[in-house]
Structure 1
Amino acid sequence: MTNTDKTALRTLLRVRRALIDPTGHGFHRSSRQGRRAPGLSQHQVDQLLHRTPGTYRRLESGAWPRPDTGFLRDVAMLFALNEQEWVSLCRYAGIGDPPGPLTARSGKEVPGVWQEAIDGMTHPAYITDASWELIAHNDEFARLFPGGEVPTNTMRWMLLEPQGREMLIDWDTAWAPLVVPQLRAALASRSDDEVLRRLEKDVLADPQCAPIWESGGAHIHPDGDERPIRHAIDGPGWVTMCAAQPMAAPGARMIVLVFHAGARRSHTRVPVLRAP
C-alpha cells in the first residue's frame, strides 16, 4: 500500500464515518467537554462490528497491509458505501478489486438516463443487469427479432431458447462455447444469485449445453468479437460486439451490435484504436 493509497483510504473512511449519527446506533452524545468530532468514533465502529478495540483504527490509519475482506465488507455496509466506493475501498486497502459485489442489489439497476443514451444510437444496443435480465434496449435492437419481441433474459435466450439457436448462426461453434464461460464467470462472483443459479441448472440439464459447460472453456469477454447472426428483417449477417459496463452497476453490461448484412464477411475490420 503506497502512501498515496493510505491517504486516500484515510480520507474515504473519515468522511463516510463522519456522516453517521451515533445516536442512530444507540450511542449517546456526551454533554460534557470531550470529543466533539462528528459521526462515529473509531471505538464505536469496533463495537458495532464486534471487533477488538483498535481493529478499525488499524484500517483507517493504513497500518493493516492486507485487511480481512469480511471486515472491509462490514465497514462498507456500516458506512453505506456505494459500489464504486466499495471498489475504491478495496483498492486503497491493498487487496485489489473486491471479490464480489457489495450487495445483492448491485448490478441490478442503472441510472434512467441510459435509456436515452441507447435510444440515440444508430446500431442495435441493449443493457442487461448482472443476471442478463434485459433492462433497456433501443428500437434497432428490437428489429433483430421476429415481431420485435425481445428476450427477457439474453443469456437464457442465447443458450436455451430455440429461437436463439436458430438466429445465432453456427450456434454450437460460434456462439455457445463463447457464451457458456460468461455464465460460469458470473457465478464465480455471484454464487447466491437466484437467476444465475437457475440458468446454471438449466444449462446442466440441457444435452447440448452440458458438454460445453463441462469442457471448462475460459473465454469470457465478448468485446470486439464478430459472430454470424440471422437478422429478422435484414437476413443473415455479422455482428461485431462492443461491450461496456455502467460504472455504477458492476456486473451489468451495455452491448452495442454493429451489424453487417451478408452471408459472408464483406467488410473490413477496423484496427484497434489508440491515443495518438
Structure 2
Amino acid sequence: MADPRRVEFGDFLRSRREKLSPKIVGLPAGRRRRTAGLRREEVAQLAGIGVDWYIRLEQGRTVSPSVTTIDALARALRLSKTEHAHLKALARDGDKRAFVPEVVPPSIRRMIESLNQPAYITGRRWDVLAWNDPAEEIFAFGQLPEQDRNTLLLMMTNKQTRKRYGAGWADVAKAMVAMFRATHDVWAGDPAFTELLTRLRAGSPEFVKWWEAHEIRSTMSGRKTMNHPTLGVLHFEHTSFQANDDPALKLVIYTPV
C-alpha cells in the first residue's frame, strides 16, 4: 500500500506542474502539448534532478527527497512560501499514531468563557471543542450534534451557515478549503480525516471542485460579514492563536467592528 502522505506529495507536485506554462519558466513552447502545464522532464531539468527520480516522486513512491531537492523543486515550480513549507511537511516522516480528539484544559475553557466577544477552540481536524456564550449566540454550536461541530463541515454543508454569509460565502469557503488542505495532507489516510473528507465530498459539490484544485493557503486573520437571523447584519474581525498547553488547539476570536 502506498503511503497516503507520499501520494499527496506526488499529487501536489503534479497540480503545481500543470499550472505552469513554459513561458513563465523561460522554456520554449516547443511542439504542441496534449496536456496543460510543464512536462515532467522539464520540471526535472529545472530542478536539476533525474527524470526517473522526479517521476517516482510524482507517483507517490516511497522515496525520501533531501531538503536540497525539495528546495530545488520549489524553485522550479515557482512555489510560494506557504506551498514550499507544505511540500517540506509532506516530505517528512509523519506521526504514525492515529488521530485522537484533543482535550481542552479547564484553564483554557475558563479563559474563553470570560471573554465578552465570540470565541471558540478548534483542534487539528477543525472540530469545535469549546466555546463561550457569545459564540453560542452567533453560531449555535450547542444545538448541533457533536459529530457536526466542525467549522469546515458547517461552512460547506450547512444551509444556514451558507445563508448567513450570503454573497461572500464562496470566497470564505474556498479560502477555508485551501487552509484545510495544508492540515489534511499531513494526516492523509488517517481514519478520522478520511471520514471527514468523505462527508465533505458527499455534502458539497463546491468542495469537490476546490479540493481537486489542490490550493494551499496559510491561516490568516481577516474580516467577515454575517446575516444573522435575529441579530441582523454583523461585522467581525477574526484572528486565531495557538495554545501553549497544546499547539494542536487553536483559539479563534471574533471582534465586532
User: TM-score, normalized by length of structure 1?
Assistant: 0.52
Answering whether residue 208 of structure 2 is matched by residue 217 of structure 1, we say no
Matches of 2:254 and 2:96, distance apart in 1: 30
Q: CA deviation at 1:177?
A: 1.0
Q: CA deviation at 1:105?
A: 5.3
Answering whether residue 165 of structure 2 is matched by residue 157 of structure 1, we say no
Choose which of 122, 126, 146 in structure 2 pairs with 1:132. Answer: 126
Change (3 A) 1:108 1:129: same
Structure 2 regions of 5+ residues with no counterpart?
1-88
Matches of 1:247 and 1:101, distance apart in 2: 20
Change (3 A) 1:130 1:171: same
> 1:88-99, aligned counterparts within 5 Å?
none
Matches of 1:146 and 1:131, distance apart in 2: 19
Matches of 2:143 and 2:170, distance apart in 1: 25
One-letter amino acid matched to 1:241: H
Choose which of 160, 178, 200 in structure 1 pairs with 2:197. Answer: 200
Matches of 1:167 and 1:200, distance apart in 2: 23
Contact 1:130 1:250 in 2 (8 A): no
User: TM-score, normalized by length of structure 2?
Assistant: 0.55
Answering whether residue 140 of structure 2 is matched by residue 142 of structure 1, we say no
User: Per-residue displacement from partner, 1:109-156 (whole Å, max 9, x unpaired)?
Assistant: 231211100011111000012112221100000010469635622221
The number of equivalent residue pairs is: 164
Give 3-state SS (helix, strand or coil) of 1:240's partner: strand
> 1:252-271, aligned counterparts within 5 Å?
252-260=249-257
Q: CA deviation at 1:180?
A: 0.5
The corresponding residue for 1:110 is 104
Instruction: Indicate the structure with greater helix content.
Output: 2
> 1:1-276, aligned counterparts within 5 Å?
100=94, 103-104=97-98, 108-145=102-139, 149=143, 152-205=149-202, 206-221=204-219, 223-260=220-257
User: Per-residue displacement from partner, 1:49-91 (whole Å, max 9, x unpaired)?
Assistant: xxxxxxxxxxxxxxxxxxxxxxxxxxxxxxxxxxxxxxxxxxx
Q: CA deviation at 1:100?
A: 4.7
Rg: which structure is higher? 1
Runs (4 or more) in structure 1 with deviation over 3 Å come to 98-107, 145-148
Structure 1 regions of 5+ residues with no counterpart?
1-94, 261-276
Contact 2:141 2:149 in 1 (8 A): no
